[in-house]
Structure 1
Amino acid sequence: MCAAMKMVKDAHPFAILAMDVLPEHLHAIWRLPPDDADYPLRWSLIKAGFSRWLTKSEHIRASHQTKRELGIWQRRYWEHQIRDEIDLVRHVDYIHYNPVKHGRVTHPVDWPHSTLHGFIDPGMAASN
């Protein structure tokens, strides 16, 4: 996932403000350059890039085969435009708490695939 995301970021810049990756889904908050709101292009390229590195051993449903898709990705995603600083903080907290919500860990800090660790290191969040 990291390699695919880096390739897309190099070609179509964006900043990752918060993110966590769980086995069955991920959440991310991005900041795109001014006058650029092309989330769909970036997600499409990330999904395609990541999928190319997967072993082609999974069963792929006919509906995915006709569209040349693997079964790993949902066709849709949900986006929300952050309205203000309070909304940003609320969504960052939601993302970082998500592994606990889904029963993966007891404390958000225990999930290794989260940007929470970048918030803790510089003292931006509590570690427990």
Structure 2
Amino acid sequence: MRYRRVLEAGGCYFFTINLEDRNQPLLVENIELLRRVYLKVVKKHPVKTIAIVIMPDHLHAIWQLPKHDNNYATRWRLIKSGFSRELPQTEFCNNSRIAKGERGIWQRRYWEHKIRDEQDLENHINYIHHNPVKHKHVAKVSDWPFSSFHGYVKNSILSPDWEGGIHLNEMYDE
């Protein structure tokens, strides 16, 4: 059975990408590797990252795809495989993965959601920025270092003590 995905050129999407072993903090332990691979992929296959948070065992991102491009799957495949290739092979791998030449770092599938409107975008940006608090990694949003929240503060979109909602008209007023 083939999983159906919404593919819209120029679409805006929210993603959740999980490690296979949700007890491993591989993403934050290898944050520089993840950043390097991510930047390499988006340089070759441009995408606008609207918001992102890297958690120990998963990440959330909102991407705006280029106008005539709907291929987010290739970008995620390259990010996941590029990251995996650089790690020592210590994870358990079942026979199915071995037969397909896969590592056991990432879950095979990922969650994507097509952003419907400005309110949906606002809700997902809030969700991303609050995720470290939700998972009890930090008490305040500003305490988590691996989040686009800090870019929002730097660009005066959010205040450093923000803990609540963001309104898009505030984001784009200039």
| TM norm structure 1 | 0.94
CA offsets per residue over residues 89-114 of structure 1, 9 Å max, x none? 11001001011111111111111110
Q: Structure 1 CA distance, aligned partners of 2:90 and 2:57?
A: 18
Give the secondary-structure state (helix, strand or coil) at the position aligned to 1:79. strand
**1:119 aligned to 2:155?**
no
Q: Which runs of 4+ in 1 moved over 4 A?
A: none
The aligned residue for residue 49 of structure 1 is 82
CA offsets per residue over residues 16-65 of structure 1, 9 Å max, x none? 11000111100000111002111111100110111111111223222322
Once the 2 structures are TM-superposed, how far is the Cα of residue 87 of structure 1 from its aligned partner? 1.3
Q: Structure 1 CA distance, aligned partners of 2:88 and 2:133?
A: 29
Amino acid at match of 1:104: H
**1:24 aligned to 2:67?**
no
Give the secondary-structure state (helix, strand or coil) at the position aligned to 2:112. coil
**Superposition RMSD in Å:** 1.1
The aligned residue for residue 135 of structure 2 is 102
Q: Structure 2 CA distance, aligned partners of 1:36 and 1:120?
A: 30
Unmatched tracts of structure 1, length 5 or more: none
| TM norm structure 2 | 0.70
Unmatched tracts of structure 2, length 5 or more: 1-33, 162-174
Of Structure 1 and Structure 2, the greater strand share is in 2
Q: Structure 1 CA distance, aligned partners of 2:112 and 2:51?
A: 14
Residue 67 of structure 1, aligned match among 100, 103, 115? 100
Q: Structure 2 CA distance, aligned partners of 1:79 and 1:28?
A: 10
